[in-house]
Chains A and B, each alone.
Chain A
Amino acid sequence: MMASLLHLLFPPSVRSPLELGSDVAIVLTSAAIVFVLTRYRKWGWLWREWLTSADHKKIGIMYLIAAIVMLFRGGVDALLMRTQLAIPNNQFLNANHYDAIFTTHGTIMVFFMAMPFIFALFNIAIPLMIGARDVAFPRLNAISFWLFAFAALLFNISFVVGGSPTAGWTAYPPLTELAFTPGIGQNYYLLALQISGIGTIATGVNFLVTILRMRAPGMTLMRMPLFVWSALVTSVLILFAFPALTVALALNMLDRLFGSTFFTLTSGGMPMMYVNLFWIWGHPEVYILVLPSFGIFSEVVATFSRKRLFGYAAMVASLVAITVLSYGVWVHHFFTMGAGPSVNVFFGVSTMLIAIPTGVKVFNWIFTMWRGRIRLEMPMLWALAFIPTFVLGGATGVMLAVVPGDYQFHNSYFLVAHFHNVLIGGVVFGLFSGMYYWWPKMFGYSLNPRMGRWAFWLFFLGFWVTFVPQYFLGLAGMTRRMYIYAHGFGWTGLNQISTVGAFAMGAGFVVLVYSVVWSMRYGERDVTGDPWDGRTLEWSLPSPVPEYNFAQIPTVTDRDAWWAMKQQAPAGAAAAPVHLRPIHVPKRSAQPFGIGLSFFVVGLGMVFSWWWIAGAGFLGVIFCILLGMFEYDLHEEMSVETIRETEAAMGRVGA
């Protein structure tokens, strides 16, 4: 009994030196954190100020920290893979280990790095940019975060308890069925993504309503900053795409846990249906990831060119066009599954159409710079790096849309290079740009630009060195997800170059993290609240922003609202508010944390088919929801006196 339980929890796959080393590191890190929190009596502070907070800015910061931790995890996975592939016939990792690592790399980077990074920036910037005091549903916002956080935890413990999933981040059945992937690793994937998916859909609802309902007076839809537009269409994409993933995961879970036969090989199962459902979500997901970055570039390029955004209406129209088109291209992920020429041609051409609005956007960014004055600050560097990188990624995307070309490129390293080209060159560069851009707003100090440049060049050049050889590996016939390759295919040199690039990117990440730690103590403090000479409303506020955001809700008269205010009253734009009234701020609550924790218990119980644990977790969820129903007032009032004091302390004198 005990022995079989131990075998279930710690199968051979989690007992290799690599895992044991990680176990030790995790235990030591956890112990260090517990020690520091206890030594400096920070438990109460952590609980009251952060874990129970419903303040969008704090939730944003927690998302950001989680995203960077997950970037580390996914990045380590990537470096392990690149190490394994550096030489032919390498015995560093075995097949099972490599399969687990590419699966967790993809899953973590998409669901637990990029998504929370995007939500971090939404949370931090969107309410401030539209002149709101919080999101529409602050409590739900906190619930979303804790569902994500506990789902990420659930997914990550698979590494050391029970074994990781090994079927790739796309997790196609019938490979993911019990007959071919026994064990519980795949259950972690299904349950963790399902739980974080609930949070993601709630976030979509939240930002859709926030943007539609909570804009400051005068901010019409066509006066919204582009980043707000991108958040709006992203929310719509989430609402209409994620349910398809929910269904796909649920059916696969039913197959694995309850013996149904939706996608099995036997009893009339139809694996192809999963592939359709997955990509009906999966392609809009690509735009869920990249459109926020497009929004960030639009803000950053305009700010650091000291010029109005070029072609605003076309930019908005492009976002909407991409949103609509993104639902009509999913078959391009499987032209090679025998849909027939008519279907393939339809989806090939619809895919090419996306290049039109995307091309319009690229030209508009370049012409925002044209006749401007370009300052090469850190956010702008990342935005500038994006343009040529993304143009290459887009171009190879068109190459993949050429159906007969795709017959040769599908699942090869050409494809791997392409999607890293758009996901790193588009999404990650954009998120880094946004992180540097809003960092002073979040924390009240800037990140050291000299270290930032080092991190930038290492990461940017490392990116090109990593992925350009991979296009050629694709042409040389190397396919994705191969854990080992023989001599004689001519792949060795290209793989070695790629590995060198990957380690340069890793070094860039290390420098970036070091610059964060350094800047916490020594970084330049932002006393004005407007370090970049910004154009949008968040820069009218002091840094870091007080809990209630705006002491007085501004009235918007122009697209670049803050820029217009500065033009009208150059000296006193940030002048003291006149008519103060009490402000309702969201009350802190343990309920979101409780819901997340309960879902974690549900997930863990279901992963191992321990139904009494799952049942207990489920009761916990019900209990937390009921508890919330009896809280009649989710807000507390902040008095005029407190606001006045806070404003005065922030240097907004005369309040």
Chain B
Amino acid sequence: MLWPLGACALLAGCGPQYVVLHPAGPVASTELHLIETVSIAMAAVILFVVALFVIALVRFRDRPGNKAPYSPDWDGSRTLEVIWFLIPVLILAVIAVPTVRQTYALAHLPKQADPLIIDVTSLDWKWLFEYPAQHIATVNYIEVPTGTPVLYELTANSPMNTFWVPQLGGMEYTMPGRVLPLWLQADKPGVYWGRSANFSGRGFVDMLFDIQAVPAAEFQTWVQGVQQTAPAMAAAEYQRLLKFGTAGRATYSAYPAGTFPQTTNGFSLQGGMYMPTAVPGGASAAASPSAAMAPSAAMAMGGNG
């Protein structure tokens, strides 16, 4: 009945399908490390409490001839109560300190490199990805360079979804009217699946995408190939994507201006709601080159008759 998760996570003996336990980048590694720490602490708590519980149960059963002490009026002990007040306090301190530290750490991009920026919009029911610096767009898949942090700017032109790539790191919501930041990085080349974890209607299970992590040079080649050979996304094509329905993969050499919000609920993206980078003046939200636009225009749903 005891809980094998902690041991399983430690041994990493679980198969590759346990994506959370097989990180492929620094964010997911940090998160897994914390999960392991708290698993060990919690496993210790569970073992201790269950052991105490079983001893009490076996020793003090109401059986004829049970010689264990019976003190029907024993109803308190200051010492004992102080001890088990302190036990959870200590354990939580052990957990809380790294939690606080890593929560702040994950909110900042690493210092050394400029991130690649990808603007992510969840639609009903497909993912639209726009590369503002490269001026290209994709649907339901992206390519990213390995070893480079990628800043995902997340929004929705639909009900809320979450952007989750378990092997690269934890999720963040895509919300209409807001742009939320999330940075992830792939250290190893590979294909990592992502999906939405927040129910968004009958096509929710199809909110799937792949992240293809390739070496930087290969990524540049791919970008150039897309810029030169893929079709441009016309406004009509964007309107078509907004309609209810699922979609396959698509690649575009350009996309209409104003499809990604520049402001959110009256805040500019350079303002307080946005994730700061560790480097002052470094590449951040300010780098987003999308043309200024009225949020209401971008947020209006098309074709939801």
Contact residues in A for B234 (Cβ distance below 8 Å)? none
> Are A374's CB and B62's CB within 8 A?
yes
Contact residues in B for A348 (Cβ distance below 8 Å)? 96, 99-100, 103
Which of A233-241, A349-357, A442-450, A508-516 lies at the interface?
A349-357
Contact residues in B for A305 (Cβ distance below 8 Å)? 60
CA distance A311 to B77 in the complex (A): 7
Contact residues in A for B45 (Cβ distance below 8 Å)? 359, 391, 395
B interface, size bucket: 35 or more
> Are B300's CB and A337's CB within 8 A?
no
A363 at the interface (CB under 8 A from B): yes
Which of B200-208, B216-224, B252-260, B277-285 lies at the interface?
B200-208
> Are B196's CB and A479's CB within 8 A?
yes
User: Which one, A308, A376, A406, A484, contacts B170 given CB within 8 A?
Assistant: A406
A165 at the interface (CB under 8 A from B): no
User: Which one, B84, B95, B172, B195, contacts A398 given CB within 8 A?
Assistant: B95
Q: Which residues of chain B in 87-141 are interfacial with respect to chain A, using CB atoms and an 8 Å cutoff?
A: 87-89, 92, 95-96, 99-100, 102-104, 106-107, 124
B232 at the interface (CB under 8 A from A): no
CA distance A337 to B174 in the complex (A): 8
> Are B75's CB and A309's CB within 8 A?
yes
User: Which one, B76, B77, B205, contacts A482 given CB within 8 A?
Assistant: B205
Q: Which residues of chain B in 68-87 are interfacial with respect to chain A, using CB atoms and an 8 Å cutoff?
A: 68-77, 80-81, 84-85, 87
> Are A337's CB and B53's CB within 8 A?
no
The verdict on A402 contacting B38 (CB below 8 Å), with A174-B159, A352-B96, A366-B56 known, is yes
CA distance A491 to B18 in the complex (A): 9
Contact residues in B for A311 (Cβ distance below 8 Å)? 75-77, 81
Q: Which residues of chain A in 297-342 are interfacial with respect to chain B, using CB atoms and an 8 Å cutoff?
A: 305-314, 334, 336-338, 340-341
B144 at the interface (CB under 8 A from A): no
Which of A14-22, A41-49, A198-206, A469-477 lies at the interface?
A469-477
User: Which one, A168, A269, A306, A344, contacts B62 given CB within 8 A?
Assistant: A306
> Are A402's CB and B35's CB within 8 A?
yes
> Are B172's CB and A373's CB within 8 A?
no
CA distance A482 to B273 in the complex (A): 31
B261 at the interface (CB under 8 A from A): no
> Are A265's CB and B181's CB within 8 A?
no
> Are B160's CB and A172's CB within 8 A?
yes
Q: Which residues of chain A in 249-274 are interfacial with respect to chain B, using CB atoms and an 8 Å cutoff?
A: 265-272
Which of B42, B178, B204 has the most A CB atoms < 10 Å from its CB?
A: B42
CA distance A2 to B301 in the complex (A): 33
A117 at the interface (CB under 8 A from B): no
Shortest Cβ distance from residue B65 to the other chain A in the assembled complex, whole angstroms: 12
> Are A344's CB and B18's CB within 8 A?
no
> Are B17's CB and A408's CB within 8 A?
no
CA distance A402 to B106 in the complex (A): 13
> Are A410's CB and B162's CB within 8 A?
yes
Shortest Cβ distance from residue A535 to the other chain B in the assembled complex, whole angstroms: 10
* Per-position 1/0 for B160-186, Cβ under 8 A of A: 101010100111110111101100000
> Are B301's CB and A399's CB within 8 A?
no
CA distance A271 to B198 in the complex (A): 14
A211 at the interface (CB under 8 A from B): no
* Per-position 1/0 for A383-413, Cβ under 8 A of B: 0100110011001101101111111111110
B265 at the interface (CB under 8 A from A): yes
The verdict on A175 contacting B172 (CB below 8 Å), with A266-B296, A371-B70, A399-B42 known, is no
> Are B170's CB and A404's CB within 8 A?
yes
> Are B162's CB and A384's CB within 8 A?
no
> Are A352's CB and B92's CB within 8 A?
yes
> Are B171's CB and A336's CB within 8 A?
yes
CA distance A374 to B70 in the complex (A): 10
> Are A271's CB and B176's CB within 8 A?
yes
Contact residues in A for B84 (Cβ distance below 8 Å)? 359-360, 363
CA distance A472 to B157 in the complex (A): 32
> Are B170's CB and A410's CB within 8 A?
yes
> Are B301's CB and A310's CB within 8 A?
no
Contact residues in A for B76 (Cβ distance below 8 Å)? 310-314
Contact residues in A for B181 (Cβ distance below 8 Å)? 338
CA distance A313 to B300 in the complex (A): 57
User: Which one, B92, B99, B199, B265, contacts A403 given CB within 8 A?
Assistant: B99
A610 at the interface (CB under 8 A from B): no
Contact residues in A for B199 (Cβ distance below 8 Å)? 99, 167-168, 175, 480-481
CA distance A464 to B4 in the complex (A): 13
A interface, size bucket: 35 or more
User: Which one, B32, B60, B99, B103, contacts A373 given CB within 8 A?
Assistant: B60
CA distance A268 to B296 in the complex (A): 8
Name the residue of chain A whose CB is nearest to the CB of B66.
Answer: A373
Contact residues in B for A409 (Cβ distance below 8 Å)? 170
B211 at the interface (CB under 8 A from A): no
Contact residues in B for A95 (Cβ distance below 8 Å)? 202-205
A72 at the interface (CB under 8 A from B): no
B304 at the interface (CB under 8 A from A): yes
Name the residue of chain A whose CB is nearest to the CB of B273.
Answer: A338
Contact residues in B for A336 (Cβ distance below 8 Å)? 162, 170-173
A294 at the interface (CB under 8 A from B): no
A345 at the interface (CB under 8 A from B): yes
CA distance A334 to B89 in the complex (A): 25
B236 at the interface (CB under 8 A from A): no
* Per-position 1/0 for A480-505, Cβ under 8 A of B: 11111100011100000000000000
> Are B171's CB and A407's CB within 8 A?
yes
Name the residue of chain A whose CB is nearest to the CB of B165.
Answer: A477
Shortest Cβ distance from residue A272 to the other chain B in the assembled complex, whole angstroms: 7
CA distance A12 to B34 in the complex (A): 48
CA distance A395 to B49 in the complex (A): 11
> Are B103's CB and A371's CB within 8 A?
no
Name the residue of chain B whose CB is nearest to the CB of A414.
Answer: B20
CA distance A270 to B75 in the complex (A): 53
CA distance A266 to B177 in the complex (A): 9
CA distance A472 to B3 in the complex (A): 11
Name the residue of chain A whose CB is nearest to the CB of B49.
Answer: A391
Shortest Cβ distance from residue A561 to the other chain B in the assembled complex, whole angstroms: 15
B52 at the interface (CB under 8 A from A): yes
Name the residue of chain B whose CB is nearest to the CB of A408.
Answer: B170
B30 at the interface (CB under 8 A from A): yes
The verdict on A388 contacting B60 (CB below 8 Å), with A338-B273, A398-B95, A402-B35 known, is no
A277 at the interface (CB under 8 A from B): no
B227 at the interface (CB under 8 A from A): no
Contact residues in B for A490 (Cβ distance below 8 Å)? 15-18
> Are B19's CB and A405's CB within 8 A?
no
B290 at the interface (CB under 8 A from A): no
CA distance A355 to B46 in the complex (A): 13
Shortest Cβ distance from residue B259 to the other chain A in the assembled complex, whole angstroms: 15
The verdict on A356 contacting B92 (CB below 8 Å), with A338-B178, A404-B34 known, is yes
> Are B103's CB and A387's CB within 8 A?
no
**Closest 7 pairs between A and B when the two form their complex, measured CB to CB:** A407-B170, A490-B17, A338-B180, A175-B159, A395-B42, A411-B197, A308-B75
With A307-B74, A373-B70, A404-B30 given, name 18 new contacts (CB 8 A): A99-B202, A166-B202, A312-B75, A336-B162, A341-B103, A355-B88, A363-B80, A369-B57, A371-B68, A388-B46, A395-B42, A404-B99, A406-B170, A408-B32, A471-B5, A475-B14, A477-B20, A484-B205
Residues of B within 8 A of A (CB): 1, 3, 5, 14-21, 28, 30-32, 34-35, 38-39, 42-43, 45-46, 49-50, 52-53, 56-57, 60-62, 66, 68-77, 80-81, 84-85, 87-89, 92, 95-96, 99-100, 102-104, 106-107, 124, 157-160, 162, 164, 166, 169-173, 175-178, 180-181, 193, 195-205, 265, 273, 296, 299-301, 304
Residues of A within 8 A of B (CB): 95-96, 99, 166-168, 172-175, 179-181, 265-272, 305-314, 334, 336-338, 340-341, 344-345, 348-349, 352-353, 355-356, 359-360, 362-364, 366-367, 369-376, 384, 387-388, 391-392, 395-396, 398-399, 401-412, 464, 468, 471-472, 474-477, 479-485, 489-491
A-B contact list, 7 entries, CB within 8 Å: A313-B76, A345-B100, A352-B96, A356-B89, A404-B30, A408-B169, A479-B197
